[in-house]
Structure 1
Amino acid sequence: MRTAPPQLALLFLSWELLGFSDFTWRQFAFSALAMAQLEELELLKKSLGEEAEPPAERFQKKVEGSISKMVLNGGMDNRYLVLAVNIVQNEEGTHEKHLIITASQSLENKELCILRNDWCSVPVEPGDIIHLEGDCLSDTWIIDEDFGYLILYPDILISGTSIASSIRCMRRAVLSETFRSSDPATRQMLIGTVLHEVFQKAISNSFAPEKLQEFAFQTVQEIRHLKEMYRLNLNQEEIKQEVEEYLPSFSKWARDFMHKYNSADLPQMQLSLPSDGNNNNSTCNIEVINSLDIEESIWSPRFGLKGKIDVTVGVKIHRGYKTKYKIMPLELKTGKELNSVEHRSQLVLYTLLSQERRADPEAGLLLYLKTGHMYPVPANHLDKRELLRLRNQMAFSLFHRISKSAIEKEKTKLAPLPQIIEDQQTCKYCSQIGNCALYSRAVEQQMDDSSVPIGMLPKIEEETQHLKLTHLEYFSLWCLMLTLESQSKDNKKNHQHIWLMPASELEESGNCIGNLIRTECVKTVCDGQYLHNFRRKNGDMPVTNLMAGDRIILSGEERTLFALSRGYVKEINVTSVTCLLDRNLSILPESTLFRLDQEEKTCDIDTPLGNLSKLMENTCVSQKLRDLIIDFREPQFTSYLSSVLPYDAKDTVACILKGLNKPQRQAMKKVLLSKDYTLIVGMPGTGKTTTICTLVRILYACGFSVLLTSYTHSAVDNILLKLAKFKIGFLRLGQAQKVHQDIQKFTEEEICRSKSIKSLALLEELYNSHRIVATTCMGINHPIFSRKTFDFCIVDEASQISQPVCLGPLFFSRRFVLVGDHQQLPPLVLNREARALGMSESLFKRLERNENAVVQLTVQYRMNSQIMSLSNKLTYEGKLECGSDKVANAVISLPNFKDVKLDLEIYADYSENPWMIRVFEPNNPVCFLNTDKVPAPEQAEKGGVSNITEAKLIVFLTSVFIKAGCKPSDIGIIAPYRQQLKIINDLLFLSSIRMVEVNTVDKYQGRDKSIILVSFVRSNKDGPLGELLKDWRRLNVAITRAKHKLILLGCVPSLNRYPPLGKLLHHLNSEKLIMDLPSEEHESLCRVLGDFQRR
């Protein structure tokens, strides 16, 4: 990766922005700048001899593979595809980069973009997407040092704070974007946040001393700040006193800059705006008139930026007898009054952000809250140009996190990060120093990368000397797999659709609702949470996938209002949608049209990368986990139960154990004896949730503390619903709207609200009073974990959770219990390469090789014996057994079956259609309907793979079962493809059938129904094989969801091509459980169904 030396990024910025005045320092800087330009020129000369474009065939393949995903267009929000890059020597003898570009989806209508001066260093390549600012004359853009900007990968939005931090060290900025959770909270950050909020409340209300005291008092009582005080083990009164020390400066600033009757009373300042032209008089008085917005969130797809402006203010600039009105960003700083390049750069970038909403402010205001001193910061072209070039460098690093070789046989690798700087002072206080050294050793030095400065080698060694080669390899591999997976998901679920696609088009996917207007008054639920109600301007709500609890991004329909707010859907119906948002939007006109976009969380790799980084730390906890997980140290167990079981708990434990079967009791004993970890294999229907609930009760009776986790909220709440019946107290972490309604009263949020907790002492009392705490694996950044270590951590669904995610809660316990079954669904991995590298191996599967730590639950209470035999034959080698004769012999109850049987015999010739009676017989629990002769071909459409014939047959079977007396809610329909689910749902709706659950195998994991109907969809004897049906674990889940009746539907010759299904079909055939459907049977069944419905 070629980037400018990071030390010189600072020198590229304008002298006015830097605030330098010393002539000697200028001379040094200019000479350094000249050297940097000479180095860049040498690089350009060298590249002249190289091939300017990749091989045509390779590039064509790249473009053809991705053009359908691109949105290209001209105009203000232009998106150009780069077709070719050439370096050309112009008439003056200097070098230029010439880009052949197009904004046409058909790759026609080509234009030329000429990059001059320092813009030549932008690492743009054929196939890249760029945005251009400037003028296009005769299909030619010219971007030089005086005019225009090029934005590389404009749909990667980077915060102004990140870009400003990259000035001193680009590597630190990229690491902070990659390992977000590694930047620790500090006392200074908390003080800064509180002071920001106090100032923001004051500027919207009053700076009177008594009001400032009131705002400070209120703010330090807010629960989110109390939680940070708990995390950092601070004193609430000390924080309040420190905040109060700033308040006189707040009042001083307001007296100096607000509400002046005479502009001459305002402090004199130096500010030259670009629009002032050649006016040499930069002396002016700045008056802040009002506050227009607080924490204004702006996304700028034009400049590839995002950020939150502390305060957006209206100001008057008085210069002599002339007055100019501007709307400017006001940036608040609570640290030392540095007027530093980073602080000033941040404001320059905020002026670019502001242009998305209003006229160019041309400058911003930098206010240091400790002194009340304010500095105007002009945003001239040079400053914006160099900051956008830094932004492009950073975007390049973030986009090219994977290094793919042109040689297919070579392995995909992680790309090196920007170069390590040699600056002892900067590195000494860098929060990313550990990750910087770790990445260098684990990734870059393994590639024989020799770009580490000599002076930094001792520091890298010091930070990583506790790690073995196996640890570094584990880190490198998982970083690579997580990055591959995130890029795969980002391609499908990026936020860019919000600004690139109209809501009307996205509504078809079900993940967006547009044309909304606000109704009713906005209600403040608590500080930072506002309840909004919306309805369609015209008509009812469209068909949507959005439901209560879903995360959403709210934008305006007009292009200037992207991402106004984030929040959750509180309630949704056919006429309206209620949302809990993080901003009060009542300041916008009532006529404003809005759109809601579902915010996908599947791309989030911040938490797993943070866990991976934490695993490599030089701490006792991380060392123990590395020994167990990476180096496979055998887990240790205590020999005698009496040594861990308190005497006064023995009777209680004995009473609880009475209700368990033998494998469950063995699991309880194994956990109690463990010193490290235990694995509980919960085979289908074996009462996994009941077992976990019982385990928690026993551990609680023994006086142990327990952290209960899983990947999904529903899995956590299913255990808590059982636990709540035993009157055992627990604390549920997480946002109340994501939690089961019956568990919400146990959430931290609800308890704090009901008890009106406003002091740190009361919050500590709440945390300390609960020995059982429950949350999801992604909720481990909660402050409670900074000061609490649990005796046991229980992870449900462990076989479905990727290793780095599963790691999270284990850092906060002495022992852990993983509950799962690797014969069922593995962690979901979309990227094929990541899957091939082993990303679908869960921690449960990895540790299962230590057999002495494993207990198997084999007694099941779900399936009758015939359904169970399928799974026993295919997967469990006969280990599964029914819990009782009642379970083994259970059949579906169909009260009206005799009447239905007579109807079927009337409408169908039994001799030609023997299957029609047999399939509904309660005493025939398993059957496979072969559609080969019907026929039932699959259809591959834009929405995915489907099979309309199978869908019609499924609906017929469902209708007959309901007519025979089965409750619709007792019937489940499974299909591997979403398009098939949609078609089945549509047909059920047309048949007036409600309450039948239609879903994928993944959604049915851990669930069951009396009747399960499975549509396999794929029906092509020679065509390509689908990936989903190759997974034997997915098949195992599908055939173990039914209690009493399992009906499978598909084309036998086609399905035999899939090894897992081939094995199943061989077994079913040997048991004579496959029935061939006659030709055109679906048509006759439609007639039968019509007659049924008329009767």
Structure 2
Amino acid sequence: GSRAVLHLSDMWQDLPVQPGDSLNVIRPRDQGCEQGVRQLVCSASEGLCVLHPDILLSGTTVTSAMDCTRKAWLSELFGGGANNDKAVLGTLSHELVQWALRAAVQGPMRLPSRAQCVTQAHEIVAASASKLFEVGVSADVAVKALTDKVTALLAWLAKYVGAGHAGPRDLVMGPNHQGPATQVLVEEVVDIEESIWAPQYGLKGQLDATLRALEGGDEASSGMRPQQWSGLTSHLGPSHGQFLRHWLGLVELEDSAAREGRSALWAVPGRQRALQGSCLADLQLQDTLVLAAKKEIRMMEPYLRQPQSEGLPPLPTQQGTAQPPCAANRGVLPSAAAVLWRLDKDEAAAGVTQQRTNLLMLMEAASGQVARLRDLVVDLAPPRMVAEQAARCEASSDLALACSHLNSEQQAAVQAVLQMQDYTLILGMPGTGKTSTTVCAIQAMVAAGRSVLLTAYTNSAVDNICLKLAAAAVQFVRLPGSSLDAVHPGVRGHTPGGERYPAGNSAEGLTQLAADVKVVAVTCLGVRHPLLARRSFDVCVLDEASQ
């Protein structure tokens, strides 16, 4: 509640701070009080200012902004695009190095052999079949790329890892290995890919950032070369710019609300968040159990609340106990029993980056499908009708039998779906048979040889249609999200690797699924599944579209 005046000098005087902005001032020069108000100074020699510290930026973003601030922001806000083979193979190589380090630090006699490294390379490739399928890399090529690095990896481990050496070895640092030598000996691997948040400095391993859009930009203010602006935007009109600004603004509002909730994880005391229902506070860890050593996943149970924690909501129960289990995808550091823990609910919105990317891709200069989508979505062009398709479907006796249970309005809706080339909207009150109509329409489109992407915002909505498709003997594959548990038990057999598609977890199995199965079901936030990376569909069915 106290007030202070901050004087910015040297490079800090150009800080674009505005009234209402959050600012974290670290170690400024304190010049005492003047009329009861503290006077602080930040200069080139004293003090550090962090503007908007609740917006956590990665170190990569900060360094890349040295060349072009806008490029760094746009890269983080809109993502880096689809995966490529170099990035995926680099990730697999990283996993091999991590495994080798874990094995090597156990002792000088535990350094992995070449045969062990090759075996591990095969296991890593087998576990990454979907990633390799997405970028079109075969398992043999991936294994060769990893095994080619084994010789250099083992040489590095033999030189710098283990306690059997006489002492540290020289490691030359600097560009082109021309810098000073540093004495290095690896004795322990404390963690792998640890995620560190430093809200005091506004830094984080992964970015959670906001879009700063250029309102009303033109060729002069864009900073582009002559003719480049017109070459990139000549296909767009004023309505397209208004559409993009409007929807990017709505996405930004959603993202801002999510960021405010995220900062509460460290800015709001645990007991206060517990009273709001967003946190379990004052917990003690009793025991840990390693569930999957390879992935460092641990189950921590049970948590017990401190006896003196009166006034807090009761702990949730499971199977008649008051001790909630907690799964963590990383280990916890050993600590004394007196250390108190808190479990926070992270309510940050998912998929914001993908939403921005989709909006931007809608404005691309590409012809064909993108241009037509822009006409339909932005310019509200009316859908086109193709009656020949419906005529072919009417000739199918199997389809007529499958849809015989529909009433006249439902059958008319199915015919409208088949006759429209661009889109059809089906509107109905709850209980009027929209799901049954949708299932019959999917049957009709499959009978006509069309491929169908079935999607909805929630897992329950997708699985509701999938259950009816299964009852109608329609072949489909259900793509799960991050957890298979979110998929209805009656549909899990249709997932890659499930009962219907046991080979679906391999690259070859995914390739076969992509070629054979006409209907693919997935939630809106799960459309980045590798199976969809190199596939297009004739029709997309979006259930509960009003959500």
Q: Same fold (TM over 0.5)?
A: yes
1:286, CA displacement in angstroms? 2.0
Whether 1:450 and 2:223 are equivalent positions in the alignment is no
For 1:577 and 1:747, the matched residues in 2 are separated by 30
**CA distances 1:306-334 after superposition (whole Å, capped 9, x unpaired):** 117xxxxxxxxxxxxxxxxxxxxxxxxxx
* Residues 518 and 590 in structure 1, CA contact (< 8 A), matched pair in contact too: no
Among candidates 67, 77, 87, match of residue 178 of structure 1: 77
Q: Would the alpha carbon gap of residues 590 and 637 (structure 1) be closer, same or farther in structure 2, given more than 3 Å must change?
A: farther
1:731 is paired with a residue whose SS is strand
Look up the match of 2:344: 597
1:468, 1:644 → 2: CA distance?
39
- Structure 2 counterpart of 1:726, one-letter code: A
2:141 aligns with: 238
After TM superposition, give the deviation of residue 520 of structure 1 in Å.
4.6
CA distance in 1, matches of 2:99, 2:490: 36
| Letter in structure 1 aligned against 2:59 | G
CA distance in 1, matches of 2:238, 2:270: 50
The corresponding residue for 2:542 is 795
Matches within 5 A, 1:826-837: none
Judge conservation of contact 1:572–1:578 (CA < 8 Å) in 2.
no
TM-score (norm 2): 0.86
2:108 aligned partner? none
Residue 526 and residue 773 in structure 1: after superposition, are their counterparts in 2 closer, same or farther (change >3 A)? Answer: farther
Alpha carbons of structure 1 residues 655 and 292: separation in structure 2 relative to 1, 3 Å: same
Distance 1:749 1:533 in 2: 30
Amino acid at match of 2:345: Q
1:562-641 counterparts in 2 under 5 A?
Answer: 575-585=322-332, 587-589=333-335, 591=337, 593-602=340-349, 604-617=351-364, 618-640=366-388
1: CA distance, partners of 2:172 / 2:228: 45
Aligned partner (choices 89, 93, 99) of residue 195 of structure 1: 93
Alpha-carbon contact 2:390-2:418 (below 8 Å) kept: no
Does the Cα contact within 8 Å between 2:315 and 2:322 map onto a contact in 1?
Answer: no
After superposition, residues 229-628 of structure 1 pair within 5 angstroms as: 229-259=132-162, 261=164, 266-267=169-170, 269=172, 284-307=182-205, 401=212, 414-415=213-214, 443-445=216-218, 450-453=220-223, 456-487=225-256, 489-490=257-258, 493-516=260-283, 517=285, 519-524=287-292, 527=295, 530-538=298-306, 543=313, 575-585=322-332, 587-589=333-335, 591=337, 593-602=340-349, 604-617=351-364, 618-628=366-376
Letter in 2 for 1:684: P
Cα shift at 1:774 = 1.1
State the partner residue of 1:688.
434
Contact kept in structure 2, 1:260 and 1:266, CA below 8 Å: no
Distance 1:400 1:665, change over 3 A: closer
Question: Partner of 1:741 in structure 2?
Answer: 489
| Contact 1:745-1:751 at 8 Å conserved across structures | yes
User: 1:191, CA displacement in angstroms?
Assistant: 1.3
Question: Cα distance 1:590–1:729, how it changes in 2: closer, same or farther (>3 A)?
Answer: farther
Gaps of 5+ in 1: 1-103, 272-280, 309-393, 402-413, 417-442, 548-570, 801-1095
TM norm structure 1: 0.45
Output aligned runs, 1:1048-1067, within 5 Å: none
Q: Distance in 1 between matches of 2:415 and 2:214?
A: 48
| Structure with more contact order per residue of length (Cα contacts < 8 Å, sep ≥ 6) | 2
Change (3 A) 1:199 1:728: same
Amino acid at match of 1:628: L
Partner of 1:124: 17
Contact kept in structure 1, 2:7 and 2:42, CA below 8 Å? yes
Amino acid at match of 1:635: P
Tell me the SS of whatever aligns to 1:481: helix
- 2: CA distance between counterparts of 1:169 and 1:784? 35
- Partner of 1:267, secondary structure, is strand
Q: Which runs of 5+ in 2 are unaligned?
A: 33-37, 105-111
CA distance in 2, matches of 1:195, 1:117: 45
- String of CA shifts for 1:423-481, please: whole Å, max 9, x gaps: xxxxxxxxxxxxxxxxxxxx412xxx733336x23333333333344333322332233
**1:133–1:150 CA contact under 8 A, matched in 2:** yes
**Match of residue 463 from structure 2:** 717
CA contact (8 A) 2:497 2:504 kept: no
Give, in whole Å, the separation in 1 of the partners of 2:494 and 2:312: 35
CA RMSD after TM alignment: 3.3
Following TM superposition, by how much is the alpha carbon of 1:533 offset from its aligned partner in structure 2, in angstroms? Answer: 3.5
Counterpart residue number, 1:1015? none
Aligned length: 523
2:119 is matched with 214
Name the counterpart of 1:159.
58
CA contact (8 A) 1:486 1:604 kept: no
Following superposition, the deviation at residue 761 of structure 1 comes to: 1.0
Q: Is the 8 A contact 1:194 1:220 kept in 2?
A: yes
Q: Structure 2: how far apart are the matches of 1:478 and 1:582?
A: 35
Would the aligned equivalents of 2:240 and 2:378 in 1 still touch at CA under 8 Å? yes
Q: Helix, strand or coil for the counterpart of 1:682?
A: coil
CA offset at residue 291 of structure 1?
1.0
Partner in structure 2 of residue 388 of structure 1: none
Q: Is the 8 A contact 1:474 1:630 kept in 2?
A: yes
Task: Letter of the 1:644 partner, please give it.
Answer: R
The alpha-carbon distance between structure 1 residues 459 and 221, as it changes in their structure 2 partners (threshold 3 A), is farther
Amino acid at match of 1:477: H
Secondary structure at 2:324 match in 1: strand
Partners of 1:249 and 1:286 in 2: CA distance = 17
| Structure richer in strand, relative to its length | 1
Amino acid at match of 1:495: R
The structure-2 alpha-carbon separation of the partners of 1:268 and 1:710, relative to structure 1 and needing over 3 Å to count, comes to closer
Task: Classify 1:477/1:777 alpha carbon distance in 2 versus 1 (closer, same or farther; 3 Å).
Answer: same
Q: 1:199 Cα shift?
A: 0.6
Structure 1 residue 762 corresponds to structure 2 residue 509: yes
Distance 1:457 1:573 in 2: 71
User: Displacement, 1:270?
Assistant: 6.3
Change (3 A) 1:509 1:642: closer
Is contact 1:721-1:743 (8 Å) kept? yes
Whole-angstrom CA distance in 2 between matches of 1:573 and 1:192: 47
Q: Of 35, 42, 47, which residue of structure 2 is paired with 1:148?
A: 47
Give the direction of change, closer, same or farther, for the CA distance of 1:192–1:112 in structure 2 (3 Å limit). same
Closer, same or farther: CA 578–215 of 1 in aligned 2, 3 Å:
same
AA aligned opposite 2:370: S
| Identical columns (%) | 28
Paired with 1:601 and 1:466, the residues of 2 have a C-alpha distance of 36
Alignment of 1:87-126 (within 5 A): 104=1, 109-126=2-19
Instruction: Report the structure number with the largest CA radius of gyration.
Output: 1
What secondary structure does 2:301 align onto? Answer: strand
Shift of the 490–758 alpha-carbon distance from structure 1 to 2, 3 Å rule, reads: closer
Secondary structure of 1:467 counterpart: coil
Q: Describe the shift of the 1:594–1:746 C-alpha distance in structure 2 as closer, same or farther (beyond 3 A).
A: farther
Aligned to 2:27: 134
Q: What SS does structure 2 have at the residue aligned with 1:616?
A: coil
User: Structure 1 residues 719 and 599 mapped into 2: Cα distance closer, same or farther (>3 Å)?
Assistant: same
Amino acid at match of 2:541: I
Q: Aligned with 1:715: secondary structure?
A: helix
Residue 295 of structure 1 and its aligned partner are, at CA, apart by 0.8
CA offsets 1:640-659 (integer angstroms, 9 cap, x no match): 45643285xx1111112220
Give the CA deviation at 1:787: 1.9
Distance change >3 Å, CA 232–CA 136, structure 1 → 2: same
The whole-number CA distance in structure 2 between the counterparts of 1:723 and 1:525 is: 39
CA deviations on 1:142-169 (whole Å, 9 max, x unpaired) are 4332333111111111111211221222
Contact 1:113 1:143 in 2 (8 A): yes
